[in-house]
Amino acid sequence: QADIIERIIHSTADFDFAETTHFSPNAVEAGIAALKNGCPIICDVNMVRVGISQPRVADLGGTIDCFVAEPVVRQRAEAAETTRSAMGIRWAAEQGLIDGGLVVIGNAPTALFEAIKLIDEGVRPALIVGVPVGFVSTVESKAALAEVTAVPWITTLGRKGGTPVAVAVVNALLRLAVDAKAEEVD
């Protein structure tokens, strides 16, 4: 946990994250294990996707995806009167990319609520990084995540979060996963 909090503070220059960052039991271990096994990483927005270390993900055999720009996601979001970020998370689950993967929410509370809804429906990501930022539904979405017991999670309570925090968490986990995998080889 300390490595992740340190990375968040380094990325944001905000020491408040030392107090507001929360982890469910075994969240870090679950994230490292999934990443070591090359799990998919599904992001709510492309800003998060491009910030994640693609070389480290590739070294571990994983993938990073965000589906907000997919035409089918756009059409389904309009029809369902929801956000493309939320529908992108649902679509990823329908493609089998969420079970056993990392769900990374750095911007859209609606996507975090959708991930929680999927968990209620039986989908089981290895880890949810839920750190959206803002004033509308942000606090509520993170509080809902903090109530989840079926899946490990990492969140920052309150309004603060965003792309830099989401990227910092995942990149710290990736570094830990690469190091752990290297130790296994030695």
HEC string for 125-164: CCEEEECCCCCCCHHHHHHHHHCCCCCCEEEECCCCCCHH
The rounded distance, in Å, linking the Cα atoms of 23 and 86 is 23
Rounded average pLDDT over 38-47: 97
Taking alpha carbons only, the member of 87, 95, 80 closest to residue 40 is: 95
Q: What is the pLDDT of residues 62-93, one digit of tens each?
A: 999 999 999 999 999 999 999 999 999 999 99
Known catalytic membership, residue 22? no
The number of C-alpha atoms within 13 Å of 172 and in the hemisphere containing its C-beta is 22
Dig out the tokens for 183 from the structure.
């130790």
Contacts of 2 (CB under 8 A, 6+ apart): none
Taking alpha carbons only, the member of 75, 103, 96 closest to residue 87 is: 75
Q: What is the pLDDT of residues 117-138, one digit of tens each?
A: 999 999 999 999 999 999 989 9
Which is the catalytic residue, given 1, 3, 10, 94?
A: 10
pLDDT value at 186 more than 80: no
CATH code of the domain in which 65 resides: 3.40.50.10230
- Structural domain for 74, as ranges: 2-185
**Total tally of structural domains belonging to the chain:** 1
Q: What is the pLDDT of residues 8-36, one digit of tens each?
A: 999 999 999 999 999 999 999 999 999 99
Dig out the tokens for 129 from the structure.
């990084």
Rounded average pLDDT over 140-168: 96
pLDDT band at 170 (very low <50, low <70, confident <90, very high): very high
